[in-house]
Structure 1
Amino acid sequence: MKLTAVFARNLRLYRQAAGLSQERLAEFAGLDRNYIGKLEREESSPTLDTIEALAVAMQIDAEKMIRRLSPVDVKKL
């Protein structure tokens, strides 16, 4: 799986686990809601600053955004 696909999947999974809509996450991270959607659909690639802003908004470590998750890890979310 490409890193952009890993990021997109993790963004969606962590956002949903946090109970956030794309709009709410965008507000917390200081980003546009449409951009969040593009990231989740792999239509755009994030900068390191964007990854950090999203991680802070979801109160997780930024490294989790690009870590390949096993099925067991996904169930723990």
Structure 2
Amino acid sequence: MPSGKQPEPGPFARAFSAHVRSVMDAGGVTTSALAVAAGLSRNYLGKRLRDEVPFTLNDVEAISKALEIELPEL
């Protein structure tokens, strides 16, 4: 992807980040802990959880593995 401004998250991306935040809250998982488990920087993950930038499919896969939730369930 070319460097520069990222597209703004759309409705599906915002719904996904809201769901990840609710799963994190329910499991007591912090942004820092999820970032480490998913192999992402805290800043990178935080921007996506705050809907500043959309998640990539690679992010979704890493988060799924880190939270130990199968992709269709996540």
**After TM superposition, is the score higher than 0.5?**
yes
How does 1:28-39 map onto structure 2 within 5 Å?
A: 28-39=37-48
Q: Which runs of 5+ in 2 are unaligned?
A: 1-9
Q: Which runs of 5+ in 1 are unaligned?
A: 66-77
- TM-score, normalised with respect to structure 1: 0.74
Structure having the higher Rg: 2
SS at match of 1:3: helix
Q: Runs of 4+ in structure 1 displaced over 6 angstroms? A: none
How does 1:6-25 map onto structure 2 within 5 Å?
A: 6-25=15-34
CA RMSD of aligned residues (A): 1.6
Equivalent of residue 63 in structure 2, options 26, 49, 54: 54
The 2-side partners of 1:62 and 1:45 are apart by 17
| Pairs aligned (count) | 65
Q: Larger helix proportion, structure 1 or 2?
A: 1
Determine if the alignment matches structure 1 residue 41 to structure 2 residue 50.
yes
Shift of 1:63: 3.2
Shift of 1:59: 0.9
- Percent pairwise identity: 34
The 1-side partners of 2:73 and 2:19 are apart by 8
- TM-score, normalised with respect to structure 2: 0.77
Change (3 A) 1:8 1:27: same
